[in-house]
Amino acid sequence: MNGERNDDLVLTRVEADSGIATITLNRPKLLNAVDGPTAWAFLDAVRAVTARDDVRCIVLTGAGRAFVAGGDISAFGADPGSSAGVVHDILDALHPALLALRAGPAPVIAAVRGVAAGAGLSLALAADLVVAEEGARFVVAYDRIGTSPDCGATWFLPRKVGRARAMELMLLSQTLDAEAACAAGIVSTVVAPEDFEATVAEIAAKVARGPTRAFGAYRSLVDAACDRPLAAHLEAERASFVAMTATDDFREGVAAFLAKRAPEFKGR
């Protein structure tokens, strides 16, 4: 762990007034590469944030000059024979963390500086929006150590860019800059370095002011759309819409529309 305390590996901040939670992977000297302790600290942070009713937007980011440079390969080098155990330990934490982020209603924004590689790319792909600083780089990278992707990369990437492009990115180990990643559908917004933090804050604030439970329904419906027949999906949309009519935000939205004023959603 290079002298790091476990509670320093991932930092969490929740702004009570806005409902914005920020989870920061904090191994900047190692470009926030993920080892076992970091993965478990990340799971703890995600569970703490997603358990709160007042969180309405989650921002994932990395400390220093990188988002996440993938897994910490040094964890495999000490004893290659124990690599399977290392993988299980990391993924036993990252899998439930990813599922918790996707299951909760709060939209997730990945704020990407520098490199997002391997598991770091997977974390970015798992987000609903990706804001990338000019100069950010995105690469699958698993071929470089002779293994296959994890953390949902092969689930998210084809849904974002299509099967053919996903296979090209994996087989040819192509690195995309921020603009190319935006054109491919991985990145939502590319921002100049001097505007990066302000833009992330502005987007997070806009999302946090929205109808949070409805936003969670957006994600669930979109995730399921590729795997359901149209007739079944139409009924899923119907069920979701009906469920939303029982929320305070729906009642506020209708009242605001009829009164010709801006709605003030509370995320309930």
pLDDT at 118 over 50: yes
65 lies in the same domain as 183: yes
Q: What is the pLDDT of residue 82?
A: 83
158 assigned to some structural domain: yes
Residue range 215-229, pLDDT digits in tens: 999 999 999 998 999
- On whether both 182 and 87 belong to a single domain, the answer is yes
The residue-averaged pLDDT of 133-162 equals: 94
Q: Is 88 known to be catalytic?
A: no
Q: Does residue 150 carry a catalytic annotation? A: yes
Please tell me the total count of domains within the chain. 2
Cα 194 to Cα 121: distance, rounded to the nearest angstrom: 23
Residue 95 inside a domain? The answer is yes
- The one catalytic residue among 44, 95, 143, 233: 95
Query: In this predicted model, what pLDDT tens digit does every residue of 40-71 receive, in sequence order?
Result: 999 999 999 999 999 999 999 999 999 999 98
The range of the structural domain enclosing residue 245 comes to: 212-259
Give me the pLDDT at residue 7, please. 63
pLDDT at 3: 41
pTM of the model: 0.93
Q: Is residue 267 part of a domain?
A: no
Q: Is residue 220 part of a domain?
A: yes
Q: Which member of 72, 128, 150, 249 is catalytic? A: 150
113/14 same-domain check: yes
Same domain flag for 139 and 69: yes
DSSP 28-63: GGGTT-B-HHHHHHHHHHHHHHHT-TT--EEEEEES
Under the banding of pLDDT at 50, 70 and 90, the label for residue 18 is very high
Among 182, 208, 234, where does a domain finish?
A: 208
Give the burial string for 116-131 (b: 16+ CB within 10 Å, else e): bbbbbbbbbbbbbbbb
**For residue 158, what is the domain's CATH number?**
3.90.226.10
Please state, for a pLDDT cut of 70, what percent of the chain lies above it: 96
Does the pLDDT of residue 250 top 70, yes or no? yes
Give domain status of residue 268, yes or no: no
pLDDT of residue 5 exceeding 60, the answer is: no
